[in-house]
Amino acid sequence: MTVHASRRAVLAQGLVLLALAAAGSAPALAADAHSYAEPERVRITAIALDLDADFRRRTLSGTAELTLDWRDPEATELVLDSRELAIARVEARDGRGRWRRVGHALAPADPVLGSRLAIATGLPQPSAVRIRYSTAPTASGLQWLGPEQTLGREAPFMFSQSQAIHARSWVPLQDTPAVRFTYTAQLRVPRGLLALMSARNPQEVSRDGRYRFEMAQAIPSYLMAIAAGRLAFQALDDRSGVYAEPERLADAVAEFADTPRMIEVTESLYGPYRWDRYDLLILPPSFPYGGMENPLLSFITPTVIAGDRSLVALIAHELAHSWSGNLVTNANWDEFWLNEGFTSYVENRIVEALYGSARADMEFVLDIRSLRRDFRELPVETDLQRLTPRLAGRDPDAIYTTTAYTKGAWFLRFLELRVGRDALDAWLRDWFDRRAFTSVDTATFRADLEANLLAGHPGAVTGDELDAWLREPGIPAFAPEVEAAAFAAIDGEREAFLSGERAADALSWSRWGTQERLYFLNGLPQALTPAQLGTLDNAFDITGTRNSEVAFAWFQVGIRNGYPAIRPALERFLVEVGRRKFVVPLYRSLMARPEDRAFAREAFARARAGYHPITTASVEEVLGAAPAED
């Protein structure tokens, strides 16, 4: 009896322990294959930057002071990530606050990871190290633009893009999302420029070009960000606003006026916004992404300023990262879906709350269609159809796919349908809260989901179903169909047009919104006749559209059919816009046609000087060109 009772107690205790582990009392996370850092030995807890931005030499130079939390009492070395940094000297701070010079070794650069920087700290372990360094003009995480590459053509511009592994090209640090730190910065930029960071930001230009920043919440390295240029600010409400070149500010403010409501809606769904302010920085069109969720200050491409707010899901997306990604962070880049899948799901919920389920469903269907298209071309062996691929040895930029985004969001939609929206929302709110300011992996996620959501819904989801979503390539056969009612009519119109039953100018194009137009264009067959393309274009001047998504979809149709009328607009687009999502597939389509290869190379030759290093690298890969020497 007593034996049994105590056995049961032990068992129960074991279960409690298991449940605790499942609830994630800091289980060991898988190592990050994209960082040299050794966070089990020592961690950076704070960074203090003191940097000069030299626009003539295109460098940041100065010091980075790293505060250290030693975990291994025997460790005598601090290993950091770096890329193309010139390290001038390293010092360590002893127990009495005195700085002494210490040795360091910079290993030869690995093409993906950069250079391992080992600092010989010795014993006793210093509480901080200070590194004097300078970035390279070719730093992969920075773009330096001349005045002629801005709208105003008056002043130069500089901005960072640290995700995934480019923070190391402008700060020597532990460049892994498994480590979080706070930071401060002192910056000097040319007088007249406004400097901004992913931190508490100024709203006005300083007189002397000096700025101080503080980021008081612990963030992973990929969320460190910096920008400087001729910028103006306009408030949207008392906690959000827009920074842009003055010439673009009014358009941006009008386009993104719904941002305050987006914040409110997300708070009501998933808990308080924890980062104080939420501002947008509109970058020049060479920005290599649509948006980047730098905390307090999302970086945004101007290509979403369509004039009708039809592409603002991107703002919902970057805002959503303030919960999924910035609060609860993927532990390494194999776990990217935990950032992007959750965020894409939340993005869609924000769009639904603000613009209605018809719009949200259309956007979801468009995403699922491109996922299916991508999967047809993505060899299963690449592992990239899995939510958790093994990316070791590969460049995270080169393997950026829609899998994490759309398959991830689709999986959450599946869970929503199985357990009910209220239950999923309650779990999500709780997940963001319990895991705030930590890094997570899929094992942690699954254990948490099972313990805190699925346990209360027995039979709703099987382990095999979770395996199918989380481990297998492709789309599970039981994935829920997502439908958009408005699209059926468009299928009908498209068929009528293709069969010749309906003339182009009798289509409802002018009444369609952006999502309907995209659905119409993306559903066109591979081959169209010159007459079909010509009549469509004559009827609606699609080539002349100012909507970047519609232009992109139309260029794809035009390229594969050798439609000559798009050429001038396409070339202008390729030269002006550096957003990888557009530019890389366009070059790929051009290169697929021998007769278009010369055009592609010429366009790249003209565009290159204006492209961001990340875009240049991916386009070069498509063109099969050797990387340039400079």
Q: Least distance to ligand BES from the beta carbon of 254, Å?
A: 20
Q: Where are the alpha helices (DSSP H) in 243-385?
A: 246-255, 259-270, 313-320, 337-355, 357-377
**Closer CB to Zn ion, 143 or 322, in the complex:** 322
Report the distance separating Cα 417 and Cα 435, nearest Å. 24
Q: Least distance to Zn ion from the beta carbon of 304, Å?
A: 14
Which residue among 59, 67, 163, 615 contacts ligand BES (CB under 6 A)?
Answer: 163
Q: Least distance to Zn ion from the beta carbon of 119, Å?
A: 33
408 contacts ligand BES (rule: CB under 6 A): no
Beta strands in 173-257 (DSSP E): 180-188, 194-197, 210-220, 226-229, 232-235, 240-244
Task: Provide the mask over 115-154, with x wherever binding to ligand BES is found by CB under 6 A and - wherever it is not.
Answer: ----------------------------------------
54, HSE (Cβ side, Cα atoms, 13 Å)? 11
Identify the active-site residue in 38, 255, 318, 340: 318
Q: Residue 289 touches which of Zn ion, ligand BES, none (CB < 5 to 8 A by kind)?
A: ligand BES
Kindly list the distances between the CA atom of residue 492 and the CA atoms of 180, 488, 508, in Å, as whole numbers in the listed order. 52, 6, 11
Residue 40 corresponds to which tokens in the numbers above?
């089990």
Which residue among 54, 175, 340, 352 contacts ligand BES (CB under 6 A)?
Answer: 340
164 contacts ligand BES (rule: CB under 6 A): yes
The CB density around residue 265, as the number of other CB atoms within 10 Å, is: 19
Q: Least distance to ligand BES from the beta carbon of 604, Å?
A: 21
**Closer CB to Zn ion, 343 or 514, in the complex:** 343
Strand order across the beta sheet in which 180-188 lies: 99-101, 86-93, 128-134, 59-70, 42-54, 180-188, 210-220
Cβ–Cβ under 8 Å, residues 137 and 57: yes
Rg over CA atoms, the chain: 25
Q: Least distance to ligand BES from the beta carbon of 512, Å?
A: 21
Helix, coil or strand: residue 62: strand
517 contacts ligand BES (rule: CB under 6 A): no
Report the distance separating Cα 539 and Cα 545, nearest Å. 12
Q: Residue 350 touches which of Zn ion, ligand BES, none (CB < 5 to 8 A by kind)?
A: none
Q: Least distance to ligand BES from the beta carbon of 12, Å?
A: 43
Q: Residue 314 touches which of ligand BES, Zn ion, none (CB < 5 to 8 A by kind)?
A: ligand BES
Residues 6+ apart with CB under 8 A from 218: 45, 180, 181, 182, 437
Question: DSSP letters of 514-553?
Answer: HHHHHHHHHTS-S---HHHHHHHHHHH-GGG---HHHHHH
**Closer CB to ligand BES, 90 or 351, in the complex:** 351
Q: Least distance to ligand BES from the beta carbon of 283, Å?
A: 12
**Closer CB to ligand BES, 406 or 545, in the complex:** 406
Report the distance separating Cα 150 and Cα 422, nearest Å. 47
312 contacts ligand BES (rule: CB under 6 A): no
Cβ–Cβ under 8 Å, residues 331 and 30: yes
318 contacts ligand BES (rule: CB under 6 A): yes
Question: DSSP letters of 111-167?
Answer: TTTBEEEEEE--SSPPSEEEEEEE--TT-TTEEEE-GGGSSSSSS-EEEE--TTTTG
Cis peptide upstream of residue 447 (ω within 30 degrees of 0):
no
Q: Residue 400 touches which of Zn ion, ligand BES, none (CB < 5 to 8 A by kind)?
A: ligand BES
Report the distance separating Cα 191 and Cα 172, nearest Å. 27
405 contacts ligand BES (rule: CB under 6 A): yes
Identify the active-site residue in 36, 405, 563, 611: 405
Number of residues that bind ligand BES (CB under 6 A): 15
**Is position 65 annotated as part of the catalytic site?**
no
Report the distance separating Cα 358 and Cα 451, nearest Å. 34
Q: Residue 290 touches which of ligand BES, Zn ion, none (CB < 5 to 8 A by kind)?
A: ligand BES
Categorise residue 99: left if φ over 0, alpha if ψ from -120 to 50, beta otherwise: beta
Helix, coil or strand: residue 599: helix
Residues 247-306 interacting with ligand BES (rule: CB under 6 A): 289-293
**Closer CB to ligand BES, 266 or 452, in the complex:** 266
Beta strands in 381-539 (DSSP E): 438-440
Q: Least distance to Zn ion from the beta carbon of 180, Å?
A: 19
In the chain the first and final C-alpha atoms are separated, in Å, by 80
Q: Residue 68 touches which of Zn ion, ligand BES, none (CB < 5 to 8 A by kind)?
A: none
**Is position 318 annotated as part of the catalytic site?**
yes
Which residue among 34, 188, 309, 321 contacts ligand BES (CB under 6 A)?
Answer: 321
Among all residues, whose Cβ is closest to ligand BES? 290
Q: Least distance to ligand BES from the beta carbon of 548, Å?
A: 11
389 contacts ligand BES (rule: CB under 6 A): no
Q: Residue 133 touches which of Zn ion, ligand BES, none (CB < 5 to 8 A by kind)?
A: none
**Closer CB to ligand BES, 350 or 542, in the complex:** 350
Residues 324-343 interacting with Zn ion (rule: CB under 5 A): 340, 343
**Closer CB to ligand BES, 388 or 532, in the complex:** 388
Q: Which residues bind to Zn ion, rule: CB under 5 A?
A: 340, 343
- Residues annotated catalytic, as ranges: 318, 405
Q: Which residues bind to ligand BES, rule: CB under 6 A?
A: 163-164, 289-293, 314, 317-318, 321, 340, 400, 405, 581
